[in-house]
Chains A and B, each alone.
Chain A
């Protein structure tokens, strides 16, 4: 092979190599696009909620209230809105049979009593009048309206009956079916009813868990890394510790869940299903990740900086705190965010410490029971109702935004420090 041929061969090899690289990036992007498209196309409808606007006659007789007296808040609170609701539904189809009345009722979310009551509480002037009231549609009709639910399959395999669809279509023709932004998805806790289920509990649970995890893992990991890297003598014992930290980073997360269950719950008796226990468990998992990242960034600080400070008569600690640590901070923060992002998406250990429980309250402190976003995804993905499918995707979207937000924050902090130090 002469020189010329070798040159051509080298050029070709170079081009091929670059092509492989580009192909790899294309593949990665393709996966990402497919994944995101699927999530968004399934999930975006969850941010819309379907309401049925029906005429309601706040008749005193129907509510068993005194027609001549304006009812007080107490009167309204004591009134029976269940029977009243049924009567209202019958007015949609006065000829309805006994079975059909039950079907009419099932067109609405079971919260119709509360919704009817609160409307009257907010608008006491409606007493004795017939007004249009917005009621949450059942998840079956919600899905039908969003087009997620086929109407052309046999009735016995459908959840929405022909009768319900007939009434629904009539309401739709009259412009009485409206779709609005689903605020309750963000403000409600979990519910067995898809149309009412929200992520408030799991979002707060995740937020508290991450805060607990950060406030434990970051300082402990930073101190451990600084001590090991800057102060500890290099001997067999520290080698042994290093090997163990690296091993710890590779331990399956479910093992940490068992640890949380066996030690935090069983021995220390901390409250089950709480972000506090979740956060501590996650911090055990995050610890090695942060330690390894912090040690790597401390190692990357040029020794000349340490020598400069020591030669100026700075003590070992001053050298570390004034010079080495600030220079290692951006790298440490990146590692921390990676660790926290892992923790945020972690499901298995949380299931073991009971954060998989059905929680329909919103936690106010890390000591209150809560779910977490990934566990919420798991719970909803297991649910049979059609309405939870879009919720799963929507919850994934929220989790992704949470992650993007965190990474962005890390990037900003990193940027700020790097500017300052270089």
Chain B
């Protein structure tokens, strides 16, 4: 079953076209990796999926992006409700400069998910447990989230995102600022999270794409060159460009 369907998506930054006619289906409860050289448009495409491109003034998006068969690019789409369903993890861990507890409780609070203090406590604990961070921070959840290590901060951001139970989680190179051990922890977590969420991850590391994803899309110069199961893309790509990129001939 397809969770997300993108049809004829074009993106312009001012006069410069960043994405050309992207058509891509994303399966539910799978990890889809988007790979490609720098500046190929994979992050831009990711940001089309929760309309984060709205933030950039000069960015214009056209085409249809359907999530659960609903076109999110309509004028009257409520981006707040969209982003409640489609969470996002960024390249650089960006916890709020507040306590660990407040970082997680923020989402449920603004969306009115928790009815009482104890319910909120439960959500915070559950989210931290799911993000494999609970054991490390349970004694200091009222200390600043910014005091954690880089890997912990990124897991805190993941916990923050899953606190409102999004259906889709977008990850924009979530491990690029982390060391190998923290990266391994996050990758393990991604595999765990896909049971309840559909995950789309942009990554520079082909080995990471191979490790964590079931499907892979390869972008080059703003075009989606090839998409398919990770196995197939890595072992038996149909396009020469994909073959060249995967074997390290460019990129």
Binding site for B on A (CB under 8 A): 233-234, 302, 304-315, 318, 322-323, 327, 421-422
Check if B161 sits within 8 Å of A312, measured CB to CB.
Answer: yes
User: Within the complex, what minimum Cβ distance (angstroms) separates A44 from chain B?
Assistant: 47
User: Within the complex, what minimum Cβ distance (angstroms) separates B65 from chain A?
Assistant: 16
The docked-state distance in angstroms from the alpha carbon of A173 to that of B55 is 84
New contact pairs (13) apart from A312-B160, A422-B146, CB-CB < 8 Å: A234-B57, A305-B94, A306-B55, A307-B90, A308-B94, A308-B96, A309-B96, A309-B106, A311-B83, A311-B88, A312-B110, A313-B110, A421-B97
User: Within the complex, what minimum Cβ distance (angstroms) separates A135 from chain B?
Assistant: 64
User: Within the complex, what minimum Cβ distance (angstroms) separates B148 from chain A?
Assistant: 14
Please give me the residue from chain A that is nearest to B111 by CB atom: A313
Partner pick for B55 among A307, A315, A318, CB 8 A cutoff: A307
Check if A322 sits within 8 Å of B90, measured CB to CB.
Answer: no
The B86-132 residues at the A interface (CB cut-off 8 A) are 87-88, 90, 92, 94-98, 106-107, 110-111
Please give me the residue from chain B that is nearest to A314 by CB atom: B110
> What are 26 A-B interface contacts by the 8 Å CB criterion?
A233-B57, A306-B55, A307-B52, A307-B90, A307-B94, A308-B157, A308-B160, A311-B50, A311-B90, A312-B87, A312-B106, A312-B160, A312-B164, A313-B80, A313-B83, A313-B84, A313-B107, A313-B111, A314-B106, A314-B110, A322-B106, A322-B110, A327-B97, A421-B98, A422-B97, A422-B146
Given the contacts A304-B92, A422-B144, A310 and B55 also touching, CB distance less than 8 Å = yes
User: Within the complex, what minimum Cβ distance (angstroms) separates A302 from chain B?
Assistant: 8
Please give me the residue from chain A that is nearest to B81 by CB atom: A313
Binding site for A on B (CB under 8 A): 50, 52, 55, 57, 80-84, 87-88, 90, 92, 94-98, 106-107, 110-111, 144, 146, 157, 160-161, 164
Partner pick for A323 among B87, B96, B157, B161, CB 8 A cutoff: B96
The docked-state distance in angstroms from the alpha carbon of A102 to that of B88 is 91
The docked-state distance in angstroms from the alpha carbon of A33 to that of B172 is 57
The docked-state distance in angstroms from the alpha carbon of A280 to that of B97 is 37
The docked-state distance in angstroms from the alpha carbon of A407 to that of B96 is 29
Count A-B pairs with CB separation below 8 Å.
64
User: Within the complex, what minimum Cβ distance (angstroms) separates A327 from chain B?
Assistant: 7
Check if B83 sits within 8 Å of A312, measured CB to CB.
Answer: yes
Check if B90 sits within 8 Å of A310, measured CB to CB.
Answer: no
Check if B83 sits within 8 Å of A305, measured CB to CB.
Answer: no
Check if A308 sits within 8 Å of B90, measured CB to CB.
Answer: yes
CB contacts (< 8 Å) of B144 on chain A: these are: 422
User: Within the complex, what minimum Cβ distance (angstroms) separates B156 from chain A?
Assistant: 11
CB contacts (< 8 Å) of A312 on chain B: these are: 83, 87, 106-107, 110, 160-161, 164
Please give me the residue from chain A that is nearest to B106 by CB atom: A312
The docked-state distance in angstroms from the alpha carbon of A270 to that of B81 is 50
CB contacts (< 8 Å) of A306 on chain B: these are: 55
The docked-state distance in angstroms from the alpha carbon of A304 to that of B110 is 19
Check if A313 sits within 8 Å of B164, measured CB to CB.
Answer: yes
CB contacts (< 8 Å) of A304 on chain B: these are: 90, 92, 94
The docked-state distance in angstroms from the alpha carbon of A302 to that of B146 is 14
The docked-state distance in angstroms from the alpha carbon of A313 to that of B83 is 5
User: Within the complex, what minimum Cβ distance (angstroms) separates B160 from chain A?
Assistant: 7
Check if A305 sits within 8 Å of B55, measured CB to CB.
Answer: no
Q: Which has the most chain B C-beta neighbours within 10 Å: A233, A313, A314?
A: A313
Please give me the residue from chain A that is nearest to B94 by CB atom: A304
The docked-state distance in angstroms from the alpha carbon of A322 to that of B84 is 17
CB contacts (< 8 Å) of B90 on chain A: these are: 304, 307-308, 311
User: Within the complex, what minimum Cβ distance (angstroms) separates A235 from chain B?
Assistant: 9
Check if B164 sits within 8 Å of A310, measured CB to CB.
Answer: no
The docked-state distance in angstroms from the alpha carbon of A314 to that of B110 is 7
Please give me the residue from chain A that is nearest to B170 by CB atom: A311
The docked-state distance in angstroms from the alpha carbon of A322 to that of B144 is 16
CB contacts (< 8 Å) of A305 on chain B: these are: 94, 96-97
The docked-state distance in angstroms from the alpha carbon of A421 to that of B107 is 18
The 8 closest A-B pairs by CB, nearest first: A304-B94, A311-B88, A313-B84, A313-B83, A308-B94, A421-B97, A312-B107, A313-B80
CB contacts (< 8 Å) of A307 on chain B: these are: 52, 55, 88, 90, 94
Please give me the residue from chain A that is nearest to B98 by CB atom: A421
CB contacts (< 8 Å) of B84 on chain A: these are: 313
User: Within the complex, what minimum Cβ distance (angstroms) separates B43 from chain A?
Assistant: 12
